[in-house]
Amino acid sequence: MSIAENIAQVRASIAAAAREAGRDPGEILLVGASKMNDAAACREAVAAGIDALGENRVQEMTAKLAENAYAGAPLHFIGHLQRNKVKQVAGKADLIQSVGSLELLDEIEKTAARLETVQDILLEVNIGQEAAKSGFPPAEVLSAAQAALERSHVRTLGLMAIPPADASREENLRYFDKVRALFIDMNEKLFHNGLQHLSMGMSGDYQDAIRAGATMVRVGTAIFGSRHYT
Ligand SMILES: *Cc1c(COP(=O)(O)O)cnc(C)c1O
């Protein structure tokens, strides 16, 4: 199957899940998680109408940017971002989905201010409260959103979450519901219901995520095939 065929199949599954949930499939953005796939694969995805491409590693993103891999589609940064690499990402990625600490928020604010730009972000919530994962604990999401509102060079568009990898389907659904509840709460209390994006769901669970309210799914394997780690 080609990348274009895979995208068409994922789109059909997205539409089916959206319809089941009584939602408009057009409101769900498909982000291709293109880590470990080369510039040619990214271009293929863009030609096939992917809504955005998401990268995990700064070095890989920088190299592929130099090859014009993302021309024609927005670029998202979706991986763990270290503070000392913010300069390579802020102002280059259209959306940084993985803002999971106040230190990182401050660094992005500082860099965006220097560039005289406003960086769009999602706040990442560590919904499973996993020690090894970044993201705000659920109880701190509201204060993090308040902190983001007080910084004029970042604009919060919503929340991102990755439930624990070992969760059962039932547990996963509960995590998605919890993220949605946090999203609704912060949207109402701090953003006049103007937030647009709830990013959750990957190749194995994007239909469940859509039924749970996701507006953005990040799909790698189902589009690009399995990744070969060396
Ligand atoms: C790799 C990755 C994905 C996509 O994972 P697949 O299971 O291959 O679809 C989504 N989100 C993030 C943050 C990722 O790193």
Q: What is the pLDDT of residues 210-224, one digit of tens each?
A: 999 999 999 999 999
Structure tokens of 199? 């990013």
Cα 111 to middle of ligand 1, angstroms = 27
Please return the burial class of 96, using the count of CB atoms within 10 Å of its CB with bins 0-12, 13-18 and 19+.
Answer: buried
State mean pLDDT over 97-120: 98
Torsion of CA 157, 62, 201, 190, to 10 degrees: -10
**pLDDT tens-place string over residues 55-103:** 999 999 999 999 999 999 999 999 999 999 999 999 999 999 999 999 9
3 state SS for the chain: CCHHHHHHHHHHHHHHHHHHCCCCHHHCEEEEECCCCCHHHHHHHHHCCCCEEEECCHHHHHHHHHCCCCCCCCEEECCCCCHHHHHHCCCCCCEEEEECCHHHHHHHHHHHHHCCCCEEEEEEECCCCCCCCCCECHHHHHHHHHHHHCCCCEEEEEEEECCCCCCCHHHHHHHHHHHHHHHHHHHHHHCCCCCCEEECCCCCCHHHHHHCCCCEEEECHHHHCCCCCC
- Give CA–CA dist 18/25, Å, rounded: 5
- Give CA–CA dist 162/37, Å, rounded: 21
Determine the distance from the C-alpha atom of residue 152 to the mean position of all C-alpha atoms in its chain, rounded to a whole number. 21
* pTM of full prediction above 0.95: yes
Structure tokens of 24? 């408009």
Does 229 score more than 80 pLDDT?
no
Does 228 score more than 80 pLDDT?
no
Pocket perturbation via mutation, ligand 1, pick of 14, 60, 78, 205 by most ligand atoms within 8 A of CB:
78
Measured from the CA of 224, which atom of ligand 1 is nearest?
8
In short, whether 33's Cβ falls inside 6 Å of ligand 1 is yes
CA distances, 81 to each of 25, 32, 104, 183, 224 (Å)? 30, 18, 8, 22, 23
Cα 35 to middle of ligand 1, angstroms = 8
State mean pLDDT over 11-33: 97
Given this model, what pLDDT does residue 141 score? 98
Domains recognised in the chain with CATH numbers = 3-224 (3.20.20.10)
Counted residue by residue, the chain has a size of 230
- ∠ CA 201-42-172, nearest 5°, is 10
Does 120 score more than 70 pLDDT?
yes
Given this model, what pLDDT does residue 227 score? 87
Given this model, what pLDDT does residue 230 score? 61
In short, whether 215's Cβ falls inside 6 Å of ligand 1 is no
**pLDDT tens-place string over residues 146-203:** 999 999 999 999 999 999 999 999 999 999 999 999 999 999 999 999 999 999 999 9
